[in-house]
Amino acid sequence: MSLLDDLGRGGHLRLLDRELAATLRRLEPATPDLVLAGAALASLAVSHGHAGFDPARPRRLVENGPDWPSAEIWMDTLASSDWVAGGTPDAAGNRPLVLEGGLLYLRRYREYEHRLAARLRALAGHVPVAVDAAALAPVFDALFPAGSSDPLQARAAALALQRALLLVTGGPGTGKTTTIARMLVLLLAQARLAGHPPLRIALAAPTGRAAERMAESLQAAVARMASADGFEPAWVEALPKGASTLHRLLGTIPGSPRFRHGADHPLPYDVVVVDEASMVDLPLMCKLAEAVPDGARLVLLGDPDQLPSVEAGDVLASICAATGDAADEASATAALAGHRVHLLRGYRQSAGFELAPLADAVREGDADRTLALLRGNTLDGVHFHEGATDPLVTGAVALLPHWRALAGSVDPAAALASAAQLRLLTAVRGGPQGTHLLNARIEEALVGPRPPTHFHGRLLLVVENSYRHRLFNGDIGICLRDERGTLVAWFADSGGDTGGAVRAFHPAALPAHESAFAMTVHKAQGSEFDTVWLQLPRTDGRGLSRELLYTAITRARRQLHVCASEAVLRGALGRHVERVSGLAGRLR
């Protein structure tokens, strides 16, 4: 029996993967089985978030698979196939597969990696016009007073004057947005002192909610700056008032995977700042980087310890691996050395909420310390419901009353703001602790058995991009009746310059969506909530990881409730997300 047949009978392949192999076999019946199996696995790898398939480590993709051939035999067979191109820049031609750097790629994803690496290197190689340090010193001193400001934030702002590509990384609450606000003011002041027109600045994020939060955080940072001694209001006049989704920034074309802006039609901006860069997948980051015009700056903000994008690639981690840390002398030999500043601990929290020690323990995968902190009841605002498997029972006092109150809202914008105060997060979609069953139970509790598809007070989560509606995967809405009693789906306007504005849709006209009372951690990435209830499944599974736990708990601003068993927590903390990718190597 062939390897391809074994994979199919074992249920390891999707229909799409099998069809790719079947197409190659139909076009060339003599195609070796190892090439057909490799093609199917390269396709499967993309669905698992990898950029390519590693024949030397197939168990990273299929844990309980068949007996695997030796890597040497597999690689030799692939290299000699007419379906597989070598790794030279123009070798792929029309071949559907590329073997390069020990990885087997679908041609398109190899091209994304190659193009993204080339564009990032080009951006990093551009040297902005020299700064008149003496003229800019009063502005810098006002923004970063000696003795009372974070030296790493000041270093990041100073580097922005010297770099066209810059990464500012760090955990939640480490001051990334504050740094960016001051950095932009510094760049605007530089342009003004040089007699140049005000810089054209774009702020963007992967999701609508992340874009809204970015704009809100920037405005708050500007308000804090405005109260500082020596600050001139004119410094912030050219700052954008809002942020947009990356899709809207690039200009979506209905029915097409392409964007209006790209290498041939660059963005009309001098500075492009992207928040939550860990969520940006390989194809989108490639298209973004190519749309940044020559001579402009690209600034990426993100937390490399969070979950990577749901789609292919772990782009932020790969770029970080190639940049090193500008504050670390040991990184001086990195390929893009001096293009990254990593801000240190802060973590978003309010008075009476002590998240930092737990976040550190989870990020490091320290199960003993994590459990000790959870069980010790010493962290303000952190609650551990050990062994709890039903959040609707454990959180009966908090969860259902909160969702019932949403139905009493008459202002959609206020209802959406209220909904964001609390969220039930899960690690999985299926099973008793998954979003499907929990949302069904919540709907029944709110409106009775057999609830209608849409009802007053239903929270909605968009699960596919709709460029026509300007609604994107991850956007949150709510169904409320308007003044005429018509049920309407309301969504915040993520366009960026109309704070608090909402848009109305007929529920039947919406793109694919589901209830959002319970959400997966992946869908919640880029958002934050006053209170987070995290429900982990009863049994450990491959999808659980320290990155998932870290992302989940750092969504909380005031309170965190963790419902899990010791065994599941230990299993998750012992598992580290690792994506197969050649991007870091290309950047080096």
| Per-residue model confidence as pLDDT tens digits over 4-27 | 989 988 889 999 999 999 999 999
Angle between helices 176-193 and 133-143 (to 10 degrees): 150
pLDDT of residue 374: 93
Distances (CA, A) of 278 to 235, 267, 315: 30, 22, 7
- pLDDT(494) > 60: no
From CA 190, how far away is CA 270, in angstroms rounded? 13
The set of residues, in sequence order, having a beta carbon less than 8 Å from that of 487 and lying 6+ positions away, is 454, 455, 456, 479, 480, 481, 507
pLDDT confidence tier of residue 498, bands split at 50, 70 and 90: very low
Q: Give the DSSP per-residue string, 438-485.
A: HHHHHHHHHH-SS--SS-TT-EEEE-S-BTTTTB-TT-EEEEEE-TTS
Residue 536 is predicted with a pLDDT of: 95
The span from the CA of 284 to the CA of 300, in Å, is: 13
- On the question of pLDDT at 98 being above 80, the answer is yes
Say yes or no to pLDDT of 465 above 70. yes
pTM > 0.75: yes
Torsion angle of alpha carbons 433, 436, 438, 441, nearest 10°? Answer: -140
Nearest to 6 by CA among 58, 77, 60, 81: 58
Higher pLDDT, 162 or 478: 478
Mean pLDDT, to the nearest integer, of 92-116? Answer: 90
Euclidean distance between CA atoms 237 and 244, whole angstroms:
19
Across residues 552-575, what is the average pLDDT? 93
Under the banding of pLDDT at 50, 70 and 90, the label for residue 329 is very low
Contact 199, 271 (CB under 8 A): yes
Q: What is the mean pLDDT of residues 299-323?
A: 85
C-alpha angle 388-393-398 in degrees, rounded to nearest 5: 110
**pLDDT surpassing 80 at residue 133:** no
Where does the pLDDT of residue 271 fall: very low under 50, low under 70, confident under 90, or very high at 90 and above?
very high
Query: Tell me, what's the pLDDT at 317?
Result: 87
Q: Is 154 helix (H, G, I), strand (E, B) or coil?
A: helix
Start-to-end CA distance of the chain, whole Å, equals 42
Per residue in 366-413, pLDDT tens? 999 999 999 988 888 899 999 999 999 998 888 999 999 988 888 898
